Amino acid sequence: MNTEKLKKEIVQIARAAHNHHWRATSSQPVGNTQAKIVTETWQKNVLSINPSRFQTEVPVGGNIHERMDLIDNSNRIAYEFKVSGKNPKHEFYKDIFKVFAYNFNNPNNKLQKLVFITEPAGIKSLQNSGLVSSVLAMSSDFNIQIELKSI
């Protein structure tokens, strides 16, 4: 399967998990529980495509206690899924730094791309941010491509 087709399928799997398990809520504990279920469902379903190709909850490395949601080892792509589209900027910046840290800690197996997935409102918020636009424009200076994908 080619990279673009696979990427599209991974986003569709995220959309299906989101549609099945996510309900907007004002309760943070309920939202956190739902987000965990959505993410785990998405990860499990992507792993079923090819368990040797994908890894979930991949440690960034070093003394950093962060994990990548999903890595495609064949194409060196990290996928990060912000289930709620609310306030996506913090998670977006954190995920970029997780990729930088991962690459620093894995110099012979660097990630080449970050695909950030969230709800349409979150993508719109990111696209309307001057700072995010600047980060996207200069990402190649850091040898990483960044894509925003809406579920």
Query: Residue holding tokens 């995220």?
Result: 14
Q: Residue 96: what pLDDT?
A: 96
CB of 88 closer than 8 Å to CB of 118: yes
**111 has pLDDT over 80:** yes
pLDDT tens for each residue of 116-146: 999 999 999 999 999 999 999 999 898 999 9
Q: For the chain, which domains are there?
A: 3-150 (3.40.1350)
3-state SS assignment for residue 50:
coil
pLDDT tens for each residue of 11-21: 999 999 999 98
Task: Tell me the pTM.
Answer: 0.95
Residue 132 burial (10 A CB sphere; 0-12, 13-18, 19+): buried
CB of 149 closer than 8 Å to CB of 11: yes
Q: What is the mean pLDDT of residues 33-43?
A: 94
**Percentage of the chain surpassing pLDDT 70?**
99
The amino acid at 146: I
Of 13, 8, 72, residue with least CA distance to 21: 13
| d(C-alpha 119, C-alpha 117), whole Å | 7
